[in-house]
Structure 1
Amino acid sequence: MDTNEGTDRRRLVVVRGADRVDAVPALLAELDRALAGRSAVLPLPSGPAPEVTRLAAALLPAEPVEDDTALVVPTSGSTGLPKGVRLTASALRSSAEATHARLGGGGTWLLALPATHIAGVQVLVRSLLASAEPVVMAGRGGFRPVEFAEAAGRALAREGRHYTALVPTQLSRVLSEGGDAVRALARFDAVLLGGAACPPALLARARAAGVPVVTTYGMSETAGGCVYDGRPLPGVRFRLADDPRTSPADLVTGDGVGVVELAGPVLAAGYRLDPDATSAAFRDGWFRTGDLGRHDGEGTLEIIGRHDDLINSGGLKIAPVLVERALTAVESVREACVVGLPDAEWGQAVVAVVVGEPTAAPPDPAELRAAVRDQLGAAATPKVVRVVAELPSRGPGKVDRAAVVALFGGR
């Protein structure tokens, strides 16, 4: 750990390797100090070394930290240089307190996510505010249901309420494993599920197994999930804004779609040392997400994917998440990713990669294409469907869409 302390306490405390189990105590201690206004923390991953160096160079930990900053969360940097999201102690507290208010009070949290990402950090913040030491899953190179079951057993042995947070990929693996892992997961009072869109079929499987899943939507800029099961947490508001780049008539997504904007006490203070990016994303107390959503008129928000991920095929814009939902509704499919490839005739062609469900027959590409056509029409039907062993990822639960595009090469 690099404390950068001494003469200037307003420099970032860098906790390196914060995604490792042995670094959690140091990060927990610094977060405790940050919540009290005595520290500003930057958690960095353990490797690979060039990526860690790139993050540190972009976020300049040796430079004085901006006022009121308690935590700087690095973004993935998938579209260029990474940014550092600046969160205040007030935003972190507001998020954790609103979560406990929604779930029924504080309790023991099981950390099964990297503490270099906001979802993992918030497990630690909630534990601090609940005065309950978190249980940390002993990961050895990836998420394994058997290790989750062991850690869950330690958490569930404590008195009071019990919580954990997972991404859909982890939930899918636990359900596929079955046995002790599923039985343990079903004993939690709530299982927060976020980081990526959850296929409805996976959600239905989890709830049928008795798992108390609470879907979450949020990001580092909102101190983590701030919309639970489509409903904003206390103090959080959302609205749908027009986007001049897209005409609603061109969207294969239904009516009432807009760009999601969020407001409330959970919002970040901006991006570290980047006033231009801050002013572009944060305006008049609202954060513009870049995600497309719609609501049912009764205050429930449905996310249908990022605007930048829309596939423009034959003049129609297709939301990949809707195609992915149709694919994962087929029994033989566990996971799916849909992307657009350059196409001389259509502008972009819809293509898909899927991961088969181990307990079912291998996916049949023709059957999958027919399932999408029946549900969404010809325009959204993938021209090509490929079966892979695993989807490439770039963070907890986030599929690396650029790597999926590269899988097709010359198709």
Structure 2
Amino acid sequence: MTALIPTEADDPRLVQHALRLALDGGPALGFGMLPGAPERVPDGTAAVIATSGSSGIPKRVALSAEALRASAEATAARIGSGRWLLALPVGYVAGLQVLVRSLLADTEPAVVEGKFSPVAFAEATLSMVRTGSETLFTSLVPAQLATLLDAADEPGVRAALRMYRAILVGGQSLPEPMRERAVDLGARLVRTYGSTETSGGCVYDGAPLDTVAVRTVDGELQLAGPMLADGYVGDDALTSRMFVRDAHGIRWYRTGDLGLVDGGVVRVHGRADNVIVSGGVNISLDRVERVVRQVPGLHQAVVVGVDDARWGEASVIVAERGEVLRRSESEQLAHARDAVAAELGKHARPARLILVDELATLPSGKPDRESIRRAAADLH
């Protein structure tokens, strides 16, 4: 057994030093540890990341040094090696992987200092260029990318976006209009799909990384490969339920996502558990949200389910006022309802549009869906 050291993610440089030791068999790093966390974990563990994932249920994911290295090596094999900009918290797997990739490439990552902003991003990028770095990479969540796109005309932002060989975008679905805006500005995006349990993204632009296998079982996407987590610390039952072996002994992670593999391309339809029953019909909120985000003025909207006196449950769109176009609330809702009806059917149309000053987010930059849902339920 090896020691598990509670680790603060505030100083990425200190974390990088501790991570180097963890990857070489030293004490494992524990991010987001709560009282009662174990003091020791199995040998080979490099990091334990506390995450609620998409389900909202707290979990402590154990990642081995082998898994973290395998993920970083597979990424380098796909997009190349170079210098990375850290723009995400290192207490989340996407941020931690920036440090792992940097260590394996023997490069020093640049860091966006303080709160993420277009100015901070541009300054950090320029500093990398000034030091002679030529091949640049970074990893963002869609909310960060949207912030940069909205500020593209500010000094240095457009040029900074163009300087990266690849900008990995993950953590949630990337709306197609946002991707198109970025491409039009010259940014080279790579959509990633994965989770903490897979040491981060392991499917890039729909194509699994070289060491990754993907299959579907009863419509659920399952992933296999050397980057899989060892399991959940202190929860053997959940580990056995989410990580299964097939008849050949291959270990698979059950993602909980619905999807398919079409001609080798992975297509994700949404969470299997993010479904409401409205008027006796099952409706995937992820699919509704994906359509809603194609509507101008709603590219960052969130769709949540609430109780409804007539239908049992209904979907509600929650969006920031500043994003919505100069239409009335009823007109904007009508556009969204028409788009959803055309693609998914009338039964899937959202019941209401709620405008807020600011969407609640998690420290990772993802929408805080549970907080948004509770607020929407109070207003519905």
What TM-score results when the alignment is normalised by the length of structure 1?
0.85
In 1, are the aligned partners of 2:298 and 2:324 still within 8 Å (CA)? Answer: no
Cα deviation, residue 96, structure 1? 0.3
State the superposition RMSD in angstroms: 1.9
Cα deviation, residue 125, structure 1? 0.3
Question: Quick check: 1:402 aligned with 2:367?
Answer: no
CA distance in 1, matches of 2:46, 2:165: 29
User: Runs of 5+ in structure 2 lacking a partner?
Assistant: 246-250
CA distance in 2, matches of 1:169, 1:56: 28
CA distance in 2, matches of 1:193, 1:130: 21
Which residue does 1:28 correspond to in 2? Answer: 16
Moved runs in structure 1, 4+ residues, more than 3 A? 77-81, 356-360
Cα deviation, residue 127, structure 1? 0.3
Which residue does 2:291 correspond to in 1? Answer: 326
Q: 1:303 aligned to 228, 247, 268, which one?
A: 268
Q: 1:209 aligned to 176, 179, 185, which one?
A: 185
Q: 1:293 aligned to 231, 253, 259, which one?
A: 259
Which residue does 1:13 correspond to in 2? Answer: 5
Between the two proteins, what is the percent identity of the paired residues? 43
Q: How far does the alpha carbon of each residue in 1:304-335 deviate from its partner, in whole angstroms, 9 at most, with x for none?
A: 22111112212322222222222222222231
CA distance in 1, matches of 2:94, 2:260: 24
CA distance in 2, matches of 1:389, 1:324: 19
**3-state SS of paired residue (1:210):** coil
Aligned residues: 368
Q: 2:82 aligned to 82, 87, 107, which one?
A: 107
Paired letter, 1:57: P
In 2, are the aligned partners of 1:43 and 1:116 still within 8 Å (CA)? Answer: yes
Matches within 5 A, 1:51-62: 55-60=33-38
Aligned in 2, Cα 1:395/1:240: closer, same or farther, shift over 3 Å?
A: farther
Question: Quick check: 1:278 aligned with 2:239?
Answer: yes
Which residue does 1:263 correspond to in 2? Answer: 224
Paired letter, 2:253: F
In 2, are the aligned partners of 1:156 and 1:188 still within 8 Å (CA)? Answer: no
In 2, are the aligned partners of 1:76 and 1:395 still within 8 Å (CA)? Answer: no
Aligned in 2, Cα 1:127/1:235: closer, same or farther, shift over 3 Å?
A: same
Aligned in 2, Cα 1:169/1:80: closer, same or farther, shift over 3 Å?
A: closer
CA distance in 1, matches of 2:192, 2:56: 26
**3-state SS of paired residue (1:196):** coil
Question: Quick check: 1:228 aligned with 2:193?
Answer: no
Paired letter, 2:226: P
In 2, are the aligned partners of 1:323 and 1:338 still within 8 Å (CA)? Answer: yes
Q: How far does the alpha carbon of each residue in 1:90-124 deviate from its partner, in whole angstroms, 9 at most, with x for none?
A: 11111001001100x21110000000000000000
Which residue does 1:40 correspond to in 2? Answer: 28
In 2, are the aligned partners of 1:58 and 1:81 still within 8 Å (CA)? Answer: no
Moved more, 162-171 or 201-210: 201-210
Cα deviation, residue 295, structure 1? 2.8
Paired letter, 2:65: A
Paired letter, 2:121: F
Cα deviation, residue 81, structure 1? 5.9
Moved more, 155-164 or 210-219: 155-164
Moved more, 311-320 or 108-117: 311-320
CA distance in 2, matches of 1:98, 1:201: 29
In 2, are the aligned partners of 1:218 and 1:224 still within 8 Å (CA)? Answer: yes
Cα deviation, residue 271, structure 1? 1.0
**3-state SS of paired residue (2:339):** helix
Q: How far does the alpha carbon of each residue in 1:362-385 deviate from its partner, in whole angstroms, 9 at most, with x for none?
A: 562222222322332211111111
In 2, are the aligned partners of 1:353 and 1:387 still within 8 Å (CA)? Answer: yes
CA distance in 2, matches of 1:80, 1:225: 20
In 2, are the aligned partners of 1:311 and 1:339 still within 8 Å (CA)? Answer: no
CA distance in 2, matches of 1:374, 1:77: 31
CA distance in 2, matches of 1:43, 1:200: 33
What TM-score results when the alignment is normalised by the length of structure 2?
0.91
Paired letter, 1:291: D
In 1, are the aligned partners of 2:84 and 2:136 still within 8 Å (CA)? Answer: yes
Which residue does 1:248 correspond to in 2? Answer: none
Aligned in 2, Cα 1:321/1:395: closer, same or farther, shift over 3 Å?
A: farther
Question: Quick check: 1:381 aligned with 2:349?
Answer: yes
In 2, are the aligned partners of 1:216 and 1:228 still within 8 Å (CA)? Answer: yes
In 2, are the aligned partners of 1:58 and 1:82 still within 8 Å (CA)? Answer: no
Which residue does 1:49 correspond to in 2? Answer: none
Question: Quick check: 1:132 aligned with 2:107?
Answer: yes
Cα deviation, residue 356, structure 1? 5.0
